[in-house]
Amino acid sequence: MIRPDRLPPDQGSVQAQSIAKQLEGKEVTVNLLPPQNSKLTEEEALTGRIDFLDGRYFVLHEAHEKQRQIPFEQTSSFSSNSRAKGALRGLMFGSAAGALVGLIVSSELSGMACSEDPYPSSCSSKGILPFTMLSAVLVGAVGAGIGALIGRRTTLTF
């Protein structure tokens, strides 16, 4: 992504507005470029809630009601952490893992039960699907909880 100051004024403003719309009202970490006349090489990282001001500036609301007006051209990246996206990703991975484990375990248990049955023709695999689904739901719920705790980090870098 190109920093807004490297685009013609109209396009830079549109891009800054797009960034602000994605992050407005969210808790973000903003990495600021070192001043041009400075010998400092490290970026400064600020955390707070962002509000769009205009095409060239945004307002960062830091802790203790402190506000900073920062030009977009002075930023190198914006990062935010979404708990909802983390929960969704955890649900997907947890459900897939739970279904796989449930299928393997229920197949093994069904096979063990059938091997001890004196009438193998009466053996069936009716319990495999419900156990697999239950396992997917339970492990998916655990995955969603873990994902919500961790969150999903989104970084916009220029």
Instruction: For 28-48, give the DSSP string.
Output: EEEEEPPPTT----SPEEEEE
Look at the block and give the residue holding tokens 């962002």: 50
pLDDT tens for residues 14-70? 777 777 778 878 889 988 888 776 666 677 888 888 887 777 788 888 877 788 888
Q: Which of 56, 82, 108 is the last residue of a domain?
A: 82
Q: Which of 48, 63, 82 is the last residue of a domain?
A: 82
Q: Which of 40, 61, 82 is the last residue of a domain?
A: 82
Tell whether 99 and 29 lie within a shared domain: no
Question: Is 156 inside a domain boundary?
Answer: no
Query: Where in the sequence is the domain holding 28, given as residue range(s)?
Result: 4-82
In angstroms, the CA 53 to CA 17 distance is 9
Question: Is 158 inside a domain boundary?
Answer: no
pLDDT tens for residues 123-157? 666 778 888 999 999 999 999 999 999 999 988 88
Asked whether the predicted pLDDT for residue 5 surpasses 50, the reply is no
Tell whether 8 and 59 lie within a shared domain: yes
Q: Strands of 152-157's sheet, edge to edge? A: 67-71, 57-61, 44-52, 27-32, 75-82, 152-157
Angle formed at CA 17 by CA 15 and CA 19, multiple of 5 degrees = 70
Question: Is 33 inside a domain boundary?
Answer: yes
Q: How many domains does the chain have?
A: 2
Side-chain-side CA neighbours of residue 62 (13 Å): 10
Asked whether the predicted pLDDT for residue 158 surpasses 60, the reply is yes
Tell whether 53 and 118 lie within a shared domain: no
Tell whether 140 and 88 lie within a shared domain: yes
The CATH number of the domain holding residue 20 is 2.30.30.100
pTM flag (> 0.85): no
Question: Is 16 inside a domain boundary?
Answer: yes
Tell whether 34 and 98 lie within a shared domain: no
Tell whether 76 and 106 lie within a shared domain: no
Question: Is 157 inside a domain boundary?
Answer: no
pLDDT tens for residues 100-126? 999 999 888 877 766 665 665 666 667
Question: Is 59 inside a domain boundary?
Answer: yes
